[in-house]
Amino acid sequence: MNRTSLLIAVGLLTLASGGRAAPVPKERPKGGFLLVWTDATPLLLTPDGETTAELGHEEYGGKPGWAALSPDGKRCVIALDDGWANVTDKSLRKKYRLVVREVAEKAAGTKIESDADVVVAGAFWAQDGKRVIAEVYTLDALRAAEAAKKPLSTAEHEYRQVDLKAGAVGEPVLKLSAAESLYAARADGSWLVRAEGTGFVSVSADGKTRTELKADFPKGCYPNARAVSADGTKVLCSDLRKHETPKDQFGVLDLTTGKYTPLTLPDWPDTEKRQVLSLAVSPDGKRFAFTTQFVAGPRGIGPKAVRADYAAAVYAADIDGKNLKLLRTVETNGAAASIDWK
């Protein structure tokens, strides 16, 4: 057995046995960290797919969810499945609870509290790295949608800043209609928003001024996974309708010019048909990574394959679609595997 094979075997044995990887380095590696959140073992990886740390899962009760790294790669916000909120006697809405933790520490982190009339749907870091923004629905908004005989997904939703010192979800900083989605909280306090059917707009920090960017995805595109570059000028997306092959599944939208560039990737290295679950752009904007879910197991590809009932593959490629590479496969226990790159 050569040295490379030995290292791979030892790494897989460590992953399978639940052992801890080496401590998180004090300095972020060149190329940044990849955070892969799964229902099995959340992993902090180097850009070539090697394990830097296992974040531990026992503290979170094995709940499915997803996580996002802060821009400096030192902290992460984790959204965990928290069951269902009772909107009325006849309807329920999935809710999440939030945890913010230091990546390099073994402690479980700070639990973020929210009001009883608020349903947390997700969270992410602002581009300045100082703010965590939570997406929430109020029970009043959900009940108003139901009273109008509309799906709960059409309810007005809010974005609230998390008070990291107090460990609580604060007051609304932005309110959007059901047809609008927040893509980024910019470092200058403004917001990057996409309105269904009309395209991207820049919204001022106070939410009062809107500037059309004259940029949107192609007509009919359904961006089931998307990621914004660190400089906020480009949006990478995956089109849910084209999940059988990656050849024309991905595209990059330049918000400064409005040009949408489809990415041509090679075929999958195997014959699986998979759906892209999560996307992330590298800190320098030159590469991107994504996760795909296997239908069922046992599954695996290549020397870093894992045998599990459910698994996900982690890929990376250049931002122009070249040099597609399988980084590794990871256990998921059936839940989606999210990815972030900071």
pLDDT digit string (tens) for 131-160? Answer: 999 999 999 999 998 999 888 888 899 999
Q: Give 26's pLDDT tier (boundaries 50, 70, 90).
A: low
Q: What's the pLDDT at 185?
A: 95
Range of the domain at 285: 218-342
Q: What's the pLDDT at 12?
A: 34
Please give the helix or strand (H or E) that residue 77 lies within, else none. Answer: strand 75-86
Q: With respect to residue 89, please indicate whether it lies within any of the assigned structural domains.
A: yes
Boundary (domain end) residue, out of 192, 214, 236: 214
Q: What's the pLDDT at 20?
A: 46
Q: Above 60 in pLDDT, residue 6?
A: no
Both 336 and 232 in a single domain? yes
Token pair 């229902």 is found at: 39
Query: In the chain, what percentage of residues exceed pLDDT 70?
Result: 78
C-alpha–C-alpha distance, residues 108 and 15, integer Å: 20
Q: What's the pLDDT at 60?
A: 64
Q: What is the mean pLDDT of residues 185-191?
A: 94
Q: Above 70 in pLDDT, residue 307?
A: no
Omega of the bond prior to 223 within 30 degrees of 0, cis? no
Both 182 and 66 in a single domain? yes
C-alpha–C-alpha distance, residues 314 and 278, integer Å: 10
Q: What is the mean pLDDT of residues 5-20?
A: 34
Which range (15-29, 62-76, 259-273) has the least confidence?
15-29
pLDDT tens column, 260-276: 998 877 765 554 556 78
Q: What is the mean pLDDT of residues 267-295?
A: 77
C-alpha–C-alpha distance, residues 313 and 304, integer Å: 10
Q: What is the mean pLDDT of residues 153-172?
A: 92
Q: What's the pLDDT at 248?
A: 62
Pair of tokens at residue 124: 């992410």
Q: What's the pLDDT at 142?
A: 92
Q: Give 14's pLDDT tier (boundaries 50, 70, 90).
A: very low
Q: Above 70 in pLDDT, residue 178?
A: yes
The amino acid occupying position 263 is L
* Chain Cα centroid distance, residue 21: 23
Q: Give 303's pLDDT tier (boundaries 50, 70, 90).
A: very low
DSSP state of 58: G
Please give the helix or strand (H or E) that residue 29 lies within, else none. Answer: none
Both 208 and 61 in a single domain? yes
Q: Above 70 in pLDDT, residue 191?
A: yes
Q: What's the pLDDT at 262?
A: 86
Both 202 and 306 in a single domain? no
Q: What's the pLDDT at 310?
A: 66
Q: What's the pLDDT at 256?
A: 94
User: Do the Cβ atoms of 160 and 172 come closer than 8 Å?
Assistant: yes
56 vs 162, residue with greater confidence? 162
Both 76 and 201 in a single domain? yes
Boundary (domain end) residue, out of 190, 214, 238: 214
Q: What's the pLDDT at 340?
A: 94
Both 123 and 66 in a single domain? yes
User: Do the Cβ atoms of 84 and 100 come closer than 8 Å?
Assistant: no
Both 208 and 60 in a single domain? yes
Both 160 and 235 in a single domain? no
Q: What's the pLDDT at 271?
A: 46
Total domains in the fold of the chain? 2
Q: With respect to residue 32, please indicate whether it lies within any of the assigned structural domains.
A: no
Q: With respect to residue 4, please indicate whether it lies within any of the assigned structural domains.
A: no
Q: With respect to residue 260, please indicate whether it lies within any of the assigned structural domains.
A: yes
Q: What's the pLDDT at 213?
A: 94
Please give the helix or strand (H or E) that residue 51 lies within, else none. Answer: strand 51-54
Q: What is the mean pLDDT of residues 177-206?
A: 92
**What is the total residue count of the chain?**
342
Q: With respect to residue 279, please indicate whether it lies within any of the assigned structural domains.
A: yes
Both 222 and 143 in a single domain? no
Both 116 and 184 in a single domain? yes
Both 89 and 131 in a single domain? yes
C-alpha–C-alpha distance, residues 154 and 170, integer Å: 23
Q: Residue 112 maps to which CATH number? A: 2.130.10.10
Q: With respect to residue 230, please indicate whether it lies within any of the assigned structural domains.
A: yes
Q: What is the mean pLDDT of residues 288-317?
A: 66
pLDDT tens column, 86-144: 898 888 888 988 989 888 777 778 889 998 899 999 899 999 999 999 999 999 999 99
Which range (9-13, 34-38, 238-242) has the least confidence?
9-13
DSSP state of 241: G
Both 256 and 239 in a single domain? yes
User: Do the Cβ atoms of 235 and 253 come closer than 8 Å?
Assistant: yes
For the chain, the average pLDDT equals 81
Q: With respect to residue 163, please indicate whether it lies within any of the assigned structural domains.
A: yes
Contacts of 121 (CB under 8 A, 6+ apart): 94, 95, 96, 135, 136, 137, 157
**3-state SS class at 304:** coil
Please give the helix or strand (H or E) that residue 280 lies within, else none. Answer: strand 275-281
